[in-house]
């Protein structure tokens, strides 16, 4: 039953016709949503852990879920520090008996509202060198555009943080929209590719997340957008 994930179904077959208007609106407006009550403490704890570890180049694993991607990034980049962020405490604290490798020390998980955490990073002048958004909920219905990260009011802040920004999805439209929004906000053209497919493309050697593993096993094409952005 593992390889049973259905492909994304949507009446939308290309970038949303309202995307440009929404991105421009968010670019030109000030985002004034109040921080969640727990956000300040969560941010302070994560940044304290990073600084206590020596303030190494910072990697953000946004929406880390059960934390597998955080562990893999910390292992892949031992001279960096990884902050894995998820809004679900149950996912973060869930048992990690599936991790059979050496436990890295250069990371921390934190339960936080991503919208708040991104804004707090920016306001504190902290800029990650790498930034991952791996398999976010695609919200594929045409009326759900505002729920996609690249159409959210916080996305100009995400782009302004700079660094190597990478987004992965099993829905190509999401990645195409993500790339367009990045270009409109930064003037930088991202690299977009189908980097694992049912046939014709060599799959990733080691999936980064449980979703990636399940999508590969289910025969989905995987898409990604990678761009190097100047911090602002």
Per residue in 157-172, pLDDT tens? 999 999 999 999 999 9
What is the radius of gyration, based on Cα positions, of the chain? Answer: 17
Quick check: is 52 in a domain? yes
Residue pair 80/104 in contact (Cβ under 8 Å)? The answer is no
Answer whether residue 34 shows pLDDT above 80. yes
Domain that holds residue 177: 18-92+102-229
Backbone angles phi, psi at 124, to 5 degrees: -85, -5
In percent, how much of the chain has pLDDT > 70? Answer: 94
The total number of structural domains that make up the chain: 1
Is residue 57 a part of any domain in this protein? yes
Task: Output the pLDDT for position 93.
Answer: 79
For 175, phi then psi, to 5°, come to -70, -40
CATH of the domain at 84: 3.40.50.150
CA distances from 6 to 41, 215, 219, 223 (A): 38, 8, 9, 16
Q: Do 65 and 114 form a contact (C-beta atoms < 8 A)?
A: no
Examine the pLDDT at 106 and tell me if it is beyond 90.
Answer: yes
Which has the higher per-residue pLDDT, 135 or 96?
A: 135
Q: Is residue 134 over pLDDT 50?
A: yes
Which of 174-188 are b and which e, b meaning 16 or more Cβ less than 10 Å from the residue's Cβ? Answer: bbbbbbbbbebbbee
- Asked, for residue 97, whether it belongs to a domain, the answer is no
Report if residue 5 sits inside a domain: no
Residue 4 within any structural domain of the chain:
no
| Range scoring the smallest mean pLDDT among 30-34, 52-56, 163-167, 169-173 | 30-34
Mean pLDDT of the chain: 91
* pLDDT at residue 200 in the model: 47
Task: Find all residues with CB under 8 Å of 86, minimum gap 6, and list them.
Answer: 63, 64, 65, 67, 92, 109, 111, 112
pLDDT for res 99: 86
In this prediction, residue 202 carries a pLDDT of: 54
Length of the chain: 232
| β-strand pairing of 163-169 with 222-229 | antiparallel
Regarding predicted confidence, which is higher, 219 or 178?
A: 178
2 is a domain residue:
no
């Amino acid at each position: 039953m593992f390889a049973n994930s259905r492909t994304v179904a949507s009446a939308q077959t290309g970038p949303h016709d309202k995307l440009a208007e929404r991105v421009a609106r968010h670019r030109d407006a000030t985002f004034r949503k109040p921080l969640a009550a727990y956000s300040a403490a969560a941010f302070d704890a994560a940044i304290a852990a990073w600084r206590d570890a020596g303030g190494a180049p910072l990697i953000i694993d946004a929406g880390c879920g059960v934390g597998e991607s955080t562990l893999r990034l910390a292992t892949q980049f031992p001279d960096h520090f990884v902050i894995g962020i998820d809004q679900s405490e149950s996912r973060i604290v869930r048992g990690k008996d599936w991790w059979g490798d050496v436990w890295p020390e250069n990371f921390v998980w934190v339960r936080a509202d991503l919208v708040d955490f991104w804004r707090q990073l920016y306001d504190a002048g902290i800029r990650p060198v790498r930034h991952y958004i791996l398999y976010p909920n695609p919200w594929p219905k045409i009326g759900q555009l505002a729920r996609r990260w690249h159409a959210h009011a916080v996305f100009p802040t995400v782009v302004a943080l700079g660094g190597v920004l990478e987004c992965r999805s099993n829905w190509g439209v999401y990645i195409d929209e993500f790339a367009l929004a990045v270009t409109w906000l930064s003037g930088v053209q991202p690299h977009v590719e189908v980097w694992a497919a049912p046939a014709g493309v060599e799959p990733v050697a080691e999936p980064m997340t449980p979703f990636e593993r399940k999508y590969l096993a289910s025969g989905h094409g995987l898409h990604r957008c990678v761009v190097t952005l100047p911090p602002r």
